[in-house]
Amino acid sequence: MLARSTLQQRILCIIPFFAASGILPLTIYRFVQAEWSMALLDLTIFIFMCLIGYFAYHKKHVSTLKVFFCLLAILATLTTLYLKGISQLFWCYPTIAILFYFLTVRLAAISSLITLIGFAILAAPLLPQILLATFLITLVITASCSLAFSYETSKQHQQLEVLSKTDHLTKTLNRRAFTEIAQRQINNYLRNPIATSMILLDIDHFKSINDKFGHNQGDDVLVKICQLLLKELRVNDYLFRIGGEEFIILPYATGQKQAVHLAVKLKDLIEKYSFIEGRQVTISCGVAEYNKGDDNLKDWYARADKALYRAKKTRNTVCYDNESTEIDYSVNQSCATK
**Which tens digits make up the pLDDT trace of 210-258?**
999 999 999 999 999 999 999 999 999 999 999 899 999 999 999 999 9
Task: Output the CA torsion 280→251→233→226 (10° steps).
Answer: -40
d(Cα 23, Cα 20) in Å, to the nearest integer?
A: 5
Is-contact 308 249, C-beta < 8 A?
A: no
Residue 42 has pLDDT above 80, yes or no: yes
Is-contact 200 251, C-beta < 8 A?
A: no
Angle (CA) 321 324 328, round 5°: 95
Which residues, at least 6 apart from 181, have a Cβ–Cβ distance to it below 8 Å? 173, 238, 250
Is-contact 199 246, C-beta < 8 A?
A: no
Grade residue 12 by pLDDT with cuts at 50, 70 and 90. confident
152 is catalytic: no
Amino acid 71: pLDDT: 94
Residue 17 has pLDDT above 90, yes or no: no
Q: Which sequence spans correspond to the domains of the chain?
A: 2-164, 175-337
Summarize the confidence of residues 16-32 as an average pLDDT: 88
Question: Which amino acid, one-letter code, is at 159?
Answer: Q
Residue 4 has pLDDT above 80, yes or no: no
Grade residue 265 by pLDDT with cuts at 50, 70 and 90. very high
| Active-site residue, from 35, 161, 245, 277 | 245
Q: Sheet containing 246-250: give its strands across.
A: 238-241, 246-250, 197-203, 283-289, 318-320, 336-337
Residue 303 has pLDDT above 50, yes or no: yes
Residue 327 has pLDDT above 70, yes or no: no
CATH 3.30.70.270 fits 175-337, yes or no: yes
